[in-house]
Amino acid sequence: MCGIVGYIGDKNVYPILIKGLQRLEYRGYDSAGVCIANTGLKVYKQKGKVSELESFVASKDVHGTIGIGHTRWATHGEPNNTNAHPHTSMNGSFVLVHNGIIENYAKLKNDLVQKGIVFQTDTDTEVLVNLIEYYYEQDGIDSAEMAVRIALSKVVGAYGIVVLCRKEENKMIAARMGSPLVIGIGQGEYFLASDASPIIEYTDSVIYMNDGDVAILEKHSLTLKTVENSPANFEVTKVDLSIGDLDKGDFEHYMLKEIFEQPKTISDTYRGRINPQKDDIVLGGLIDVWDKIVEARRIIIIGCGTSWHAALVAEYLIEEYARVPVEVEYASEFRYRKPIIDKGDIVIAISQSGETADTLAALKMAKQNGALILGICNVVGSSIARETDGGVYTHAGTEIGVASTKAFTAQVTVLTLFAFKLARLKENIDQETYQLFIKEMLAIPDKVESVLLAHPKIKEIAKKYKDSVNALYLGRGYLFPVALEGALKLKEISYIHAEGYAAGEMKHGPIALVDDNLPVVVVSAKDNYYEKVVSNIQEVKARKGNIIAVVTEGDNGLRNMADDLFEIPESHPAVAALLTVVPLQLFAYYIALMRGCDVDQPRNLAKSVTVE
């Protein structure tokens, strides 16, 4: 949730820290701060966004070549200057930045209070930095590294931390447990960050730290070991990311840029995986496990938020065409309700970042129970990618807008390819049908492009509904998850209360909300549910509801019933989710823009949910 950046080398550290925090701000923007080692540890922090920190330090001494920075998404303690990171120990020996949650902080804090430690903040992080200082001051502790390792052995929870010690100014100590940290390797210098985005300007060589790792970084040396003081295994990898991926270009917001990138990200996701010459789908990350997948008695898909909606689309596809039972689970619930998992089960974990805490924990639990674990994520080297028996990367590129857009369509693309391939391997569809599906997938990017061309019309429609208090989204079949996703986008960035429902459930409660002030977004296509959806629309119209319909081009039946239309090109129902979601993304974007909301960084939300 929070963003961490660090540097040790010969360069002036402050510009590196600030630029890194700006690139990590999508992970949290309640407050920000830096600490620079220069004849002492100088800490500057400020409530609000990174720009407010920049203004605050404009007249401060920020000279130095070693430092750490942090942008916060608040967990323990409200967002204010005091609770902002970095945190300093009581006697000033240590400064620390932290992403994660220390679950046993209350007990640790009580023990430290009994020993005379005085606390200044409401955070769990201050407990950890004081615990490190407490051990550092004990007899027999001869280094900051040892104090950090001893303190971490007492901690229960998740953490990615970077620590500076006043008496050992020429080194940084980092540690990871359940919260990502990446080490960038330069020439006589090292970088640290929560993800690779602040690092790529300086180096493409990185080490993804593993859980339980502790890194000791000096200007010309790097030591990796475990909390238990054993050598740690690591691998230096290359980051496939460019500075251009992190810029908004000519777009006003990252979210809008990412919506318009979807034709490319969908084609990038299936590029090399669809062989049009052989009329086949090849998912290289699953080659070694297809035999087990084909024999699976059940598939369980776990995810959170938008990833959960993508999983619902997959449930419809896999059950209809591959004829394998599928369960879709919220990762946050799945890990705690003692689910029944057998060795013949396949568990697919979906996460944009590959670091979602609930999803990662659920995946590990399923693995312990003997299930085959597959992953679908966007970040090479992420925790989920490293924990799985096989998987597929989505190739959506960096997604900085907090409200996910291109990640959703990339996930649905991968899941659709998976469903069609599995259906063919199980011989539940013939080669002709398989070829039809491949042809439909290849046509999707151009069709999404045509939907995007209608953005001026979508903007005009958004004007009519920008002052709405509530909204209802309805869909059936493959488009029911799209209704859920459309409602989520609207509530995330415009703060309008929106609910997504299976249209057939409308009479079981939601119809009570319908009046002449309620916009009802109906996601429809020419499929087996069409006549049922028409009936649902008539029920809303009879109660004076305002209908916004997503329809197939040329659908004059719904044209005459709806107040407003978003049109999509004709396509097979199995791929319609990839088209119908796009106008809903734009609709939410324009409404949020007109309401004066912060589209890229909506209140209370952060991009990568690495804590429970």
Residue whose pair of structure tokens reads 């324009």 in the numeric block: 590
Alpha carbon separation from 68 to 164, 191, 204 (Å, rounded)? 8, 10, 20
| CA 85 centroid distance within chain | 22
Residue whose pair of structure tokens reads 């003997």 in the numeric block: 370
What the block records as the tokens of 605 is 């939300």
Q: What is the DSSP letter of 556?
A: H
How far is it, in rounded angstroms, from Cα 363 to Cα 89?
A: 36
86: cis peptide before it, omega within 30°? yes
Long-range own/partner contacts, residues 335-341 (CB < 8 A, 24 or more apart) = 335/361, 335/362, 335/365, 339/300, 341/300, 341/365, 341/366, 341/369, 341/370, 341/371
Long-range own/partner contacts, residues 459-467 (CB < 8 A, 24 or more apart) = 459/586, 459/590, 461/548, 461/564, 461/566, 461/587, 462/586, 462/587, 462/590, 462/591, 462/594, 463/590, 463/594, 464/564, 465/519, 465/546, 465/548, 465/591, 466/494, 466/590, 466/591, 466/594, 466/595
How far is it, in rounded angstroms, from Cα 134 to Cα 94?
A: 10
- The amino acid sitting at 182 is V
Cα dihedral sign for 246, 252, 258, 262?
Answer: negative
Residues known to be catalytic: 2, 607
Q: What is the DSSP letter of 352?
A: S
Q: E-assigned strands of 378-428?
A: 390-393
| CA 542 centroid distance within chain | 41
How far is it, in rounded angstroms, from Cα 316 to Cα 307?
A: 15
Nearest to 395 by CA among 384, 177, 543, 409: 409
Q: In what order do the strands lie in the sheet with 41-47?
A: 41-47, 31-37, 66-72, 3-8, 190-193, 182-185, 205-208, 236-238
- What string of DSSP letters covers 468-498? -SEEEEEE-GGGHHHHHHHHHHHHHHH--EE
Nearest to 96 by CA among 65, 147, 120, 130: 130
- What string of DSSP letters covers 557-604? HHHTT-SEEEEE----GGGTHHHHHHHHHHHHHHHHHHTT--SSS-TT
Q: At 327, give phi and psi (nearest 5°).
A: -120, 135
Residue whose pair of structure tokens reads 């007109």 in the numeric block: 594
Answer for the pair 61, 38: CB distance below 8 angstroms, yes or no: yes
